[in-house]
Amino acid sequence: MAGKGGKGGKKGATDATAPGKSRSSKAGLQFPVGRIHRMLRKGNYAQRVGAGAPVYLAAVLEYLTAEILELAGNAARDNKSLIIPRHLQLAIRNDEELNKLLGNVTIAQGGVLPNINPHLLQGKKGKKDDDKSKETQSQEY
């Protein structure tokens, strides 16, 4: 019976021998789309997970990672060749949007931003003024 098979035998014979292309490479991403899809399914976030959801999530995570690493690399570029948690902390806290996103996040070994209250920088001027004001005031009880 001709008609169902068509000419040339099996069509998928050459495709089956070729290695499969990952969804990450199809989307042009470095983050693993398949692994993220599996985690979305196993995490019980919803009953069903669409095909585009893990691709979108992988792209967002890759963008955020690249943004943070670029800023941390700029912080480390001065005299270091290795990005340490301190550089990540400086990068995140100096960027307004990343600081808002990661406001409640504590980075281990990150330290704090260098900050000195301007009131403490008055120096000797403030002390001399305080001494003079104490001399003129009377102490009455």
Residue 30: which domain range?
Answer: 24-113
The answer to whether position 132 is within a domain reads: no
> Considering the domain boundaries, does residue 129 fall inside one?
no
The confidence score (pLDDT) of residue 132 equals 57
Residue 141 lies in a domain: no
In this structure, is residue 124 part of a structural domain?
no
| 47 within domain boundaries | yes
Give pLDDT, residue 81. 83
Q: Are 67 and 98 in contact (CB under 8 A)?
A: yes
Query: 3-state SS of the chain: helix, strand, coil percent to 5?
Result: 55, 0, 45
Q: What is the pLDDT of residues 110-121, one digit of tens each?
A: 888 888 888 888
CATH number, domain with residue 67: 1.10.20.10
Which residues of the chain have a pLDDT value below 50? Answer: none
Amino acid present at 4: K
Task: Report pTM.
Answer: 0.70
Residue 108 lies in a domain: yes
- Note the pLDDT of residue 80: 77
Number of domains in the chain: 1
